[in-house]
Amino acid sequence: MPRPTFQFHIDDTRCTRCGLCVADCPMRVISQAAGEVPYVKPEKESQCIHCQHCLAICPSAALSIDGKRPEDSLPIEGLPDLEAMDRLVRSRRSIRRYKPEKVDPALVQRLLAALGNVPTGTNSQQLSFHLIDEPETMDRFRRAAYGALEKADQESRIPERFAVLRTAYQVFAKNGTDILFRGAPHMLVVSAPKNVATPHQDVALALATFDLLAQSAGLGTVWSGFALYAMETAPELKGLLGLEQGRPYYAMPFGYPAIRYARTVQRDGAAEVHRVVLG
C-alpha cells in the first residue's frame, strides 16, 4: 500500500496534555510546548512512518492520525494468555491432507484483514497478497504447475538442487498425489517489493501470522518451499498468479484439514540456546 497522506488531529477538549504520544513516537515527530496540546511541525510530517503508535497510546482517545479515529480501534483486552498462545504454537501442524471444500470467504477476508496489522520493517506496509480463493482455480493452477514442470524437465531446465520437482510431476501424473500444494483447495502467496527495508522478513512474518491465525480458526496450512522451487523453475507460473517477477515471495496452501492431530509434538530443546554473558 502507498503511504497514507499525513493527517494529525488532536481533539483539545479530550487531550489531557499528558505527552505520552510525544514520548512514544519512534521518529520523534510530535512536539509539545509545556502544558499545551501536542502538534507536528510541517517539516517533520514526511518523517512519520504512519505506525499509529500515537493513536494507540492516547489514554483519552483524543488523537486521530491519517483519518483513523480512536473509537474505531479495538480496546486492548481479552488477549490470549501465555497458556493459550503456547498451546497454539505447539499444536499447529503442517497440514498435508485437505478436504476439497471451499473455505468460507468471510473467514479468509477476516484473516487477511488481520494480516494488515503485522509489523513490517520501517512500517513499509508494502505487502501484497495473491489469493487463490476458488478451489477450481487452485486445480487449474495445480495442473498448470505440473505441466510447466514436465515441460521444464524436457527442456533440461530443472536445476539439480530442485530435483524433487521431477519426482513431483511424475507422481502427480501417475496417481494424482500433489507434493507441491498437498491437494489444498486454496493458496495464499505473500510478496513484498525487493527495495523495501526487509522484504523477506516481512513476507515470512505475514505468513507465520497467517499460519497461526488460520489454525486458530480451524483451518490447515502448509508452508510450500516446493511451490517456490516450482515457480522459480517455471516463472510463467508467477505470471499466472499475477505476481511480478523478481519480488520476494512465499506460498502457503491452505484449506480445511482432512485430518486431526490428537496431541502436540515434542520439540522442546530442538533449538540451541547460547546464553550470552558479557564482562
Ligand X SMILES: Cc1cc2nc3c(=O)[nH]c(=O)nc-3n(C[C@H](O)[C@H](O)[C@H](O)COP(=O)(O)O)c2cc1C
**Burial track 5-20 (b if 16+ CB lie within 10 A, e otherwise):** ebebebeeeebebeeb
Of 45-53, 100-108, 130-138, 222-230, the segment contacting ligand X by CB under 6 A is 222-230
Kindly state the cell numbers that stand for 267.
520439540
Out of 224, 233, 241, 254, the residue judged to bind ligand X by CB under 6 A? 224
Work out how close the CB of 222 gets to ligand X at its nearest, in angstroms, rounded to a whole number.
5
Instruction: Return the closest-CA partner of residue 237 out of 128, 144, 143, 139.
Output: 144
Out of 223, 240, 247, 264, the residue judged to bind ligand X by CB under 6 A? 223
Is residue 221 part of the contact set for ligand X (CB under 6 A)?
A: no
Site for ligand X in 182-201 (CB under 6 A): 182
Out of 68, 96, 99, 166, the residue judged to bind ligand X by CB under 6 A? 96
Kindly state the cell numbers that stand for 184.
489444498
How far is CA 115 from each of CA 133, 202, 214, rounded to the nearest angstrom? 16, 11, 11
Give 17 or 96: the residue with its C-beta nearer to ligand X. 96
CA 138/CA 126 separation, integer angstroms:
25
Instruction: Return the closest-CA partner of residue 260 out of 216, 217, 218.
Output: 218
Element holding 86 (H helix, E strand): helix 82-91
Q: Is 57 helix (H, G, I), strand (E, B) or coil?
A: helix
Give 68 or 93: the residue with its C-beta nearer to ligand X. 93
Of 31-39, 70-78, 193-201, 223-231, the segment contacting ligand X by CB under 6 A is 223-231
Residue type, 148: A
Is residue 226 part of the contact set for ligand X (CB under 6 A)?
A: yes
Is residue 212 part of the contact set for ligand X (CB under 6 A)?
A: no
Of 2-10, 41-49, 91-99, 195-203, the segment contacting ligand X by CB under 6 A is 91-99
Out of 80, 225, 235, 239, the residue judged to bind ligand X by CB under 6 A? 225
Of 54-62, 76-84, 90-98, 151-159, the segment contacting ligand X by CB under 6 A is 90-98
Give 68 or 99: the residue with its C-beta nearer to ligand X. 99
Helices and strands in the chain, H and E counts: 9, 8
Comparing every residue's Cβ against ligand X, the nearest one is 225
Q: Is 78 helix (H, G, I), strand (E, B) or coil?
A: coil
Specify the DSSP class assigned to residue 121.
G
Element holding 207 (H helix, E strand): helix 199-216
Number of residues that bind ligand X (CB under 6 A): 9
Of 50-58, 120-128, 194-202, 221-229, the segment contacting ligand X by CB under 6 A is 221-229
Cell 490447515: give the residue. Answer: 220
Element holding 53 (H helix, E strand): helix 53-57
Is residue 126 part of the contact set for ligand X (CB under 6 A)?
A: no
Contacting positions for ligand X (CB under 6 A) = 93-94, 96, 182, 222-226
